[in-house]
Amino acid sequence: MSARIIGHEDIVRELAALAASEEPPHALLFAGPDGTGRAALAIEYALRLNCERLNPPTTAGASLWGADSSLLPPPSSPGPCGECRPCRLILEGTHPDIIALGPGDTLCRPRDGESHAKHPDSRDIRICQVRGMIDLVARYPFEARHRVIVIDPADRFGHEAAHTVLKTLEEPPGHTVFCLVTAAPEALLETIVSRCRRIEVRPVPRARIEAGLVERGFDPDLAARAAEASRGRPGRAIEFVRHPDMMGDRGRLLERCARVAAGPLRERFSYARDLADRWRSDRHAILAELDAWEAFWEERLRQGVGGGQGTVALAGCVEALRAITTARADLQANVMARPAFELMLLAFPRVTLALSPEEESAAYA
């Protein structure tokens, strides 16, 4: 099994079978929370499609497994070699045909004669970028067997851009595969979703993440703490072992979450200002704080399902979690920090605490 991915063995097996099938699907949708490994799985698919050792030239166009894609390769089947030219370029992130499309200037292509400002801090994937993408896919890949375009986050298309993407998915060019990555599949056009092979990327068990980190040579104690704090998200766990300060003082952060969530509106605004000020100097600490907020609302969601004391309407928790995802993506796209935090905090429902903030935070331990 591929050691590049922590957990998700079943998905890796599925991707292996798809890549080896007669007609690999040209559009995949990786749906799941941030940090669970969605983009890494898309890259795994790109490797499987393009590795020279898995796809020797003599069998080009023919399938290793025949027409029957239900004939899964055995679990011991070799993964991508990691050494051939396509593998190396893909793993380095320098393959000319493996393209990451997200908010910003990637593939931006203004119309002829149009004066068009660059937009590095756009929060959406714009129509000009989609135009650039369509231009690109009309041509053959430079060297790849299959060009792979990873669209992340795929829920950030404007109206016109979404419909243009849909047209492309309806008449897919044979040599290009689209991997859509999203935490909010319900925000995509249903007609886009229905064109994609959907892959649900779920949180990974804590023990599996811990083992994966230790395999990568990280200190076992640190690995255990990072796995715990990552709440099933290997990508987050890897950030944590690289920057242990990001884990922060979780108890203190959760206390603060409880206080803000139960407090008056003006406290939310001053908290948003504080987050925005600190965002400039200490991004890691703020990202850890957003993680704490996620833990806070996920815990509420569990309590709500269980009908425990001090519950908030489930829809409110879901809304809050979505607002955090949006804020994180906005911040990564370099959107103005203060409005991003304000929007997030205004989306949070007001909670009534059954316990004091200190007791609240102890409940997560």
Closest to Zn ion by CB, 131 vs 322, is 131
* Residue type at 107 in one-letter notation: L
- Cβ at position 147, least distance to Zn ion in Å: 17
Nearest Cα to 311, choosing from 347, 346, 344, 353?
Answer: 353
Closest to Zn ion by CB, 51 vs 201, is 51
- Cβ at position 197, least distance to Zn ion in Å: 23
Walk across the sheet containing 197-200 and list its strands: 98-101, 147-151, 176-182, 27-31, 197-200
What whole-number distance in Å separates Cα of residue 241 and Cα of residue 234?
A: 11
- Using CB under 5 A as the binding criterion, the count of chain residues that bind Zn ion stands at 8
What whole-number distance in Å separates Cα of residue 55 and Cα of residue 237?
A: 33
For residue 270, CA distances in Å to 251, 265, 267 come to 21, 9, 5
- Cβ at position 50, least distance to Zn ion in Å: 8
Nearest Cα to 41, choosing from 172, 204, 192, 157?
Answer: 204
- Cβ at position 228, least distance to Zn ion in Å: 35
- Cβ at position 128, least distance to Zn ion in Å: 3
Token code pair at residue 306: 């269980």
What whole-number distance in Å separates Cα of residue 258 and Cα of residue 71?
A: 51
Per CB under 5 A, 241 contacts Zn ion: no
What whole-number distance in Å separates Cα of residue 298 and Cα of residue 40?
A: 24
- Cβ at position 79, least distance to Zn ion in Å: 9
Q: Is 152 left (phi over 0), alpha (psi -120 to 50) or beta?
A: beta
Per CB under 5 A, 51 contacts Zn ion: yes
Selected binder of Zn ion within 128, 201, 261, 351 (CB under 5 A): 128
93 alpha carbon, distance to own chain's centre: 17
Q: Are 288 and 248 in contact (CB under 8 A)?
A: yes
> Could you give the angle at the alpha carbon of 297 between the alpha carbons of 344 and 158, nearest 5°?
40
Nearest Cα to 120, choosing from 337, 340, 341, 332?
Answer: 332
Stretch that binds Zn ion, among 49-57, 164-172, 280-288, 304-312 (CB under 5 A): 49-57
Q: Are 324 and 294 in contact (CB under 8 A)?
A: yes
- Cβ at position 46, least distance to Zn ion in Å: 11
Backbone angles phi, psi at 179, to 5 degrees: -115, 110
Stretch that binds Zn ion, among 127-135, 205-213, 271-279, 297-305 (CB under 5 A): 127-135
Closest to Zn ion by CB, 119 vs 278, is 119
Closest to Zn ion by CB, 84 vs 211, is 84
- Cβ at position 105, least distance to Zn ion in Å: 7
Closest to Zn ion by CB, 52 vs 299, is 52
Closest to Zn ion by CB, 87 vs 292, is 87
Closest to Zn ion by CB, 88 vs 139, is 88
Token code pair at residue 66: 């025949």
- Cβ at position 142, least distance to Zn ion in Å: 17
Closest to Zn ion by CB, 81 vs 285, is 81
Backbone angles phi, psi at 149, to 5 degrees: -110, 115
Token code pair at residue 86: 């396509």
By CB under 5 A, the residues from 76 to 115 that bind Zn ion are: 80-81, 84, 87, 108
Nearest Cα to 28, choosing from 19, 267, 114?
Answer: 19
- Cβ at position 162, least distance to Zn ion in Å: 16
Closest to Zn ion by CB, 70 vs 115, is 115
By CB under 5 A, the residues from 300 to 339 that bind Zn ion are: none
Closest to Zn ion by CB, 54 vs 227, is 54
Q: Which residues make beta-bridge pairs with 199?
A: 30
Point out which residues bind Zn ion (CB under 5 A).
51, 53, 80-81, 84, 87, 108, 128
